[in-house]
């Protein structure tokens, strides 16, 4: 199930990014921290008082000209409204209400989503500036005073966020504009950097012109849902805007395209990562792959434009090895070599996606699982420290999508990363789990599940 999304919205220079960074870095427990994979700064999965959610830092509304400002304001705020389950409306508590604040408030006021008003840059909540009380006219109740710079009031803000999410009637998995989405279908998010053939893939699979295709990178601004049935199974293909390098995300609409794509990853079952065969794996490909991996999604790697690569008998094997070397954290993801232009291996993609979705939901019986782990321990002793050796008492699978295994151990700190990887490899060798990440949690005796 996708996490509820909290979007921070407001005009420039009110401290949105500062609030995001301070909260994530100091007050929240990051749900997942995968070595070697860096998530984009605008997004973080987090937890506060037992409530997990995704926090999104959005760009400020551009005020460079009146015409451009209004168009971008509506576009950006509307996207945040569409995809978020709770909106944090941030203002500058020292400046009071500005005309831009009122414009943003007008858009948010008509939404059905809950809105939490946070007044930043309030160093002393007992000594509020005179203009502070004008914030009540925005119509979102009592502002929560915080100072992101001084880290004051963050707990109250987080309490407000969690309370707003609990009170919200909006389901976390509510889609961001996909009225065509089928809740019983397999949701496939097609991700990748611009101009790798994502929209062309959708058109080729569906067999009709449903998504705009252009040679100009960035044509697809929003995530577009396309229902489709293949071999008796229902799919929802989610064509996302191409994710650019952060340094190139200059205009607000491009920044929100990244946010929208991240939202599509969150609500998908499997992600199809498309790579340009003529370019190989780029740094941006790695970052996009990391977003899907950290979200716990099944992944299929589609290497497109394979028709343009000169080949010999070992070309595909060499290329496959190189892809895994560049993205070792996706060593479990199957690769399919395709040409959307020539229609090559497109049905194989869907067959592979279907198999990966089944693996994401696979459950392992407890008895054979423990037998496997006992054999693995007998073959390779667990790590030790200062004469104290790790003991594994019991293992059980406690979750799916992705598969999650809970290990009861004597001391969590003795579980070395390399030994956990060894156990994962043994589990994969027995049950496969091709295309899905596998998560472990280690608990000591007496700890609750």
Query: Which one has a higher pLDDT value, 109 or 348?
Result: 348
Q: Compute the mean pLDDT over every residue in the chain, rounded to the nearest whole number.
A: 81
Mean pLDDT, range 401-428, rounded to an integer: 94
Q: What pLDDT, in 10s, does the model give residues 343-387?
A: 999 999 999 999 999 999 999 999 999 999 999 999 999 999 888
**CATH of residue 203:** 3.40.50.300
**Do 34 and 110 share a domain, yes or no?**
yes
Q: Look at residue 21 and tell me if it is in a domain.
A: yes
How many independent structural domains does the chain possess?
Answer: 3
**Do 348 and 389 share a domain, yes or no?**
no
Q: Look at residue 13 and tell me if it is in a domain.
A: yes
**Do 241 and 262 share a domain, yes or no?**
yes
**Do 136 and 226 share a domain, yes or no?**
no
| Last residue of one domain, picked from the residues 291, 326, 360 | 360
Q: For residue 52, give its domain range.
A: 5-167
| Last residue of one domain, picked from the residues 360, 375, 399 | 360
Q: Look at residue 62 and tell me if it is in a domain.
A: yes
> Which of 69-73, 266-270, 389-393 is the least confident region?
69-73
**Do 297 and 403 share a domain, yes or no?**
no
**CATH of residue 407:** 3.30.300.20
Q: Look at residue 425 and tell me if it is in a domain.
A: yes
**Do 209 and 229 share a domain, yes or no?**
yes
Q: Look at residue 176 and tell me if it is in a domain.
A: no
| Last residue of one domain, picked from the residues 133, 167, 201 | 167
**Do 385 and 423 share a domain, yes or no?**
yes
Q: Is the pTM of this model over 0.85?
A: no
In this prediction, residue 427 has a pLDDT band, given cuts at 50, 70 and 90, of very high
> Which of 99-103, 141-145, 246-250, 321-325 is the least confident region?
246-250
pLDDT of residue 276: 95
Q: Look at residue 126 and tell me if it is in a domain.
A: yes
SS3 for the chain is: CCCCEEEEECCCCCCHHHHHHHHHHHHCCCCCCCCCCCCCCCEEEEEECCEEEEEEECCCCCCCCHHHHHHHHHHHHHHHHHHCCEEEEEEECCCCCCHHHHHHHHHHHCCCCCEEEEEECCCCCCCCCHHHHHHHHHCCCCCEECECCCCECHHHHHHHHHHHHHHCCCCCCCCCCCCCCCCCCEEEEEECCCCCCHHHHHHHHHCCCCCCCCCCCCCCCCCEEEEEEECCEEEEEEECCCCCCHHHCCCHHHHHHHHHHHHHHHCCCEEEEEEECCCCCCHHHHHHHHHHHHCCCEEEEEEECHHHCCCCCCHHHHHHHHHHHHCHHHCCCCEEECECCCCECHHHHHHHHHHHHHHHCCCCCHHHHHHHHHHHHHHCCCCEECCEECCEEEEEEEECCCCEEEEEECCHHHCCHHHHHHHHHHHHHHHCCCCCCCEEEEEECCCCC
């Amino acid at each position: 199930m996708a996490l509820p999304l909290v979007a921070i919205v407001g005009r420039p220079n009110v401290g949105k990014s500062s609030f995001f960074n301070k909260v994530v870095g100091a007050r929240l427990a990051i749900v997942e921290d995968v070595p070697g994979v860096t998530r984009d700064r605008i997004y973080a999965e987090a937890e506060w008082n037992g409530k997990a959610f995704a926090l999104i830092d959005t760009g400020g509304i551009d005020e460079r000209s009146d015409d451009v400002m209004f168009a971008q304001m509506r576009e950006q705020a509307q996207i945040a409204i569409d995809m978020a389950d709770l909106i944090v409306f941030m203002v500058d508590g020292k400046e009071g209400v500005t005309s831009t604040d009122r414009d943003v408030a007008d858009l948010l006021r008509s939404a059905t989503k809950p809105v939490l008003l946070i007044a930043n840059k309030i160093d002393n909540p007992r000594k509020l500036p005179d203009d502070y009380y004008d914030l009540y006219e925005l119509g979102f109740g009592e502002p929560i005073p915080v100072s992101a710079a001084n880290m004051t009031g963050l707990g109250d803000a987080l309490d407000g966020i969690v309370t707003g999410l609990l009170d919200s009637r909006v389901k976390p998995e509510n889609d961001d504009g996909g009225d065509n989405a089928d809740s019983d279908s397999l949701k496939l998010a097609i991700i990748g950097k611009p101009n790798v053939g994502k929209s062309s893939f959708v058109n080729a699979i569906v067999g009709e012109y449903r998504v705009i295709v252009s040679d100009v990178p960035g044509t697809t601004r929003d995530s577009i849902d396309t229902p489709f049935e293949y071999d008796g199974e229902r799919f929802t293909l989610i064509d996302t805007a191409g994710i650019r390098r952060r340094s190139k995300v200059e205009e607000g609409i491009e920044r929100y395209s990244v946010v929208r794509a991240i939202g599509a990853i969150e609500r998908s079952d499997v992600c199809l990562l498309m790579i340009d065969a003529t370019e190989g794996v780029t740094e941006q490909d790695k970052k996009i792959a990391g977003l899907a991996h950290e979200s716990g999604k099944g992944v299929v790697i589609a290497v497109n434009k394979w028709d343009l690569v000169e080949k010999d008998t070992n070309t595909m094997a060499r290329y496959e090895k190189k892809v895994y070397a560049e993205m070792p954290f996706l060593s479990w993801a199957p690769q399919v070599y395709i040409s959307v232009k020539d229609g090559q291996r497109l049905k194989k993609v869907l067959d592979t996606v279907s198999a990966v979705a089944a693996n994401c939901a696979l459950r392992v019986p407890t008895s054979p699982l423990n037998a496997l782990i006992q054999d693995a321990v007998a073959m390779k002793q667990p790590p030790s420290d200062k004469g104290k050796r790790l003991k594994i008492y019991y293992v059980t699978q406690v979750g799916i999508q992705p598969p999650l295994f809970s290990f009861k151990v004597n001391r969590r700190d003795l579980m070395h990363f390399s030994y956990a990887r060894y156990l994962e490899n043994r589990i994969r060798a027995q049950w496969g789990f091709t295309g899905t990440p596998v998560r472990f949690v280690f608990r000591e005796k007496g700890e609750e599940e």
